[in-house]
Amino acid sequence: MAADGGGPVLLTSLSNCAGCAAKLRPDVLSQLLAGLPNVRSKQALVGYDTSDDAAVYKLSPSMAVVETVDFFPPVLDDPYAYGQIAAANAMSDIWAMGAKALFALNIVAFPKDLPIRMLKEILAGGADKAREAGIPVLGGHSIQSPEPKYGMAVTGLVHPKKILRNSGGRPGDRLILTKPIGTGIATTALKRGVAAKNLITLVTRQMAQLNKAAGEVFVSGKFKVNALTDVTGFGLLGHLLEVARGSKLRAQLQLEHVPLLEGIPQLAAADVVPGGTRTNLAHVAKWVKFPAGLPEHVKLVLADAQTNGGLLAAVPAKDEHKAVAALLKAGVFAAVIGELQRGKPGIEVV
């Protein structure tokens, strides 16, 4: 894409942080939220106090509205693909709560000196992902900004008794992840010009993949799901820690079973790592017990900031095989990466 009267414009060159790596650190968010007044409501079923994926507000005994918002700077140079990924990422939180998506609103920040056709491609990518999800985009809001940003506010519905929170895990639950990790490192490699072509293709496809099919399997009723979240900007360790602490349990993460995108360990070992990933590791380190001698780059991979990562579910041990089979039948990747155990809340990597 060329700028009007100039050379090619690389979207990633305009972003300070790529994708969900642009999130504020969890500890910073805690400090910010701790100072805000919290108006209590009996109808508010899920708020920010549990670090869950979306807000839930009860409308009636059988209906609750689910609301989420997500946007970020460019993660790729292709405007259309960037739009797809940002939209898919924004919608993911609805399915992570066990809800059904209803509609979306666009959120746009765009530099005034970039060609408007570039923004049109971004919006087209988002619209196509909304169409794939079966929901309309009913409007939105736009502003001028030196750094482009795009995302959506998404509304959904769920039965108040069928909400899937990130804090309901039980001892013995198996942890199931529906996408490999490594997107933050991969997109950093792309931005630095060191990403292999096959990795660019793979990571683009994965980040644009909706979590709808996985979410529908987890709410199908064919097996029990005690906790559910999606893995995004805080990385696998960060989101697993929220599940463990929210459930008041210890998560055992089996390193050899954690699925990775091809070439990610090698890139991390070569110091191709986004700043958000380093921040994630620094934040979770005091709650994570790593094996003695585990290389730093492996720890960074586990903390890598993901953009539209997979869903992470806590499922009773007796339902593990049934859950994996149902996911695979629906065309969804599935890996059992550990379990929840009694003990001091935190994570043990083995």
* Domains of the chain from N-terminus onward: 11-162 (3.30.1330.10), 174-349 (3.90.650.10)
Burial class of residue 41, CB neighbours in 10 A (0-12, 13-18, 19+)? exposed
Is the C-alpha dihedral spanning 323, 327, 329, 334 positive or negative? negative
Decide: helix, strand or coil at residue 218. helix
Q: Mind listing the pLDDT tens digit for each residue in 151-185?
A: 999 999 999 999 999 999 999 999 999 999 999 99
- Distance between CA atoms of residues 278 and 296, nearest Å: 10
pLDDT higher than 70, residue 83: yes
Q: What backbone torsions phi and psi does residue 230 show, to the nearest 5 degrees?
A: -115, 155
Please list the active-site residues.
Answer: 20
- pLDDT for the residue numbered 18: 55
Strand, helix or coil at 240? helix
For residues 311 and 227, the answer to whether their CB atoms sit within 8 Å is: no
Does 346 have pLDDT greater than 70?
yes
Which band of pLDDT confidence, cut at 50, 70 and 90, is reported for residue 22? Answer: low
CA dihedral angle for residue 311, residue 312, residue 316, residue 322, rounded to 10 degrees: 40
Residue % of the chain over a pLDDT of 90 = 84
User: Each residue of 298-320: pLDDT tens digit?
Assistant: 999 999 999 999 999 999 999 99
The predicted structure's pLDDT at residue 176? 98
Q: What is the mean pLDDT of the chain?
A: 92
β-sheet bridge partners, residue 340: 251
Check pLDDT > 60 for residue 20: no
